[in-house]
Amino acid sequence: MRFSDFIKNCERNEVSLPEAILRAEMEETGVPKEKLKDSIAKVFEIMMKEVESKYGKKQRTLTGMTGFNGYIMSQHIPRMIGEFNHIAMVAALSMAESNAAMGRIVACPTAGACGVIPGVFFALKKVKNASQKELLVDFIVAGGIGWIISRNATLSGAEGGCQAEIGAAAAMAAGALTYHFSGDAEKCGHAAALTLKSMMGLVCDPVGGFVEVPCVKRNGIATQIAIGAAEMALGGVGSVIPFDEVVDAMRRVGRSLPESLRETGRGGIAVTPTARKIVEKVKSNNI
């Protein structure tokens, strides 16, 4: 299954993108569409409830390397970005910190990248007054894009680096945002492609192997890339390379990443002098 198959189904059957995604899933698993939609709605409700309760809160994470960034940014009055971007950023930081604090999260698409999607969805809700019903449809679009990445590349940092986790999350978010404002399936593909191209090759280099540095802040920043890419797609800027081909490229790039840059904590920023010092301290505190 490719993204172009979704588009074909939309055209042939005159259905929306989320409808085409649900139908494709139903054909594969045999689970009735309504039942699937109910299960997705349950996950979605939990995600929105969690982001509402954790937004801008200080949290005690397992290692203490993060936990205060969502709070700090919520207190900051932005100098450049608007309310939409600001809320998405704070929400994403807060959810990623909740994950590091053993809070309840939705691993959409993974635990380490769990902040990006609730980030942009919370902004849609708070700033654009989007209804739960509209948002659920957008959420299915996000899921469909992640599904394509999981089928044709990977969503695992250990296999494909961070491009497969936060990169994929951002592509999913960009597609959902584009669908929310345009309902245009092709533009969703462009937004996802533009995002993934901007994050291609991103390595997974967690300090000490823990899901905190740089994961938490990367979640916050990825919302901004997703919003930027969606804005471009909405404005009519397309990706020269189609989304499916970008996903193929991402798979190849992931395979050529050395193991040290795939969630082992043995490359990238994880081996900088400061990171080493921090890890020593964390371990001596019996963490």
SS (H, E, C) 247-275: HHHHHHHHHHCCHHHECCCCCHHHHCHHH
C-alpha dihedral (260, 246, 192, 28), degrees to nearest 10: -90
Residue 142 in contact with other proteins, rule: CB under 8 A:
yes
| Residue of 91, 101, 166, 194 interacting with other proteins (CB under 8 A) | 101
Residues binding other proteins: number (CB under 8 A): 51
| Residue of 94, 98, 195, 223 interacting with other proteins (CB under 8 A) | 98
215-235 helix and 185-199 helix, angle to the nearest 10 degrees: 140
Q: Please identify, using beta-carbon distances, which residue of 22 and 51 lies nearer to other proteins.
A: 22
Q: Please identify, using beta-carbon distances, which residue of 25 and 186 lies nearer to other proteins.
A: 25
Q: Calculate the alpha carbon distances from 211 to 67, 129, 163, 250 in Å.
A: 12, 32, 15, 22
What is the rounded radius of gyration, in angstroms, for the C-alpha atoms of the chain? 18
Among 4-12, 118-126, 181-189, 209-217, the segment contacting other proteins (CB under 8 A): 209-217
Residue 172 CB, shortest distance to other proteins, in Å, is: 8
Q: Please identify, using beta-carbon distances, which residue of 105 and 232 lies nearer to other proteins.
A: 105
Residue 138 in contact with other proteins, rule: CB under 8 A:
no
Q: Please identify, using beta-carbon distances, which residue of 62 and 234 lies nearer to other proteins.
A: 62
Furthest C-alpha separation in the chain: 62
Residue 277 buriedness (CB in 10 A; 0-12 / 13-18 / 19+): exposed
> Site mask, other proteins, residues 30-59, x = CB under 8 A?
------x--xx--xx-x-------------
Among 2-10, 82-90, 100-108, 190-198, the segment contacting other proteins (CB under 8 A): 100-108
Residue 165 CB, shortest distance to other proteins, in Å, is: 10
Residue 112 in contact with other proteins, rule: CB under 8 A:
yes
Q: Which amino acid is at 196?
A: L
DSSP letter, residue 204 = B
Which has the closest alpha carbon to 123: 52, 59, 75? 52
User: Do the beta carbons of residue 68 and residue 58 sit within 8 Å?
Assistant: yes
Residue 226 in contact with other proteins, rule: CB under 8 A:
no
Give the span between the Cα atoms of 137 and 121, in whole angstroms. 11
Binding residues for other proteins (CB under 8 A): 21-22, 25, 28-29, 36, 39-40, 43-44, 46, 61-63, 98-112, 114, 139-140, 142-144, 146-147, 150-151, 155-156, 158-159, 208-212, 282, 286-287
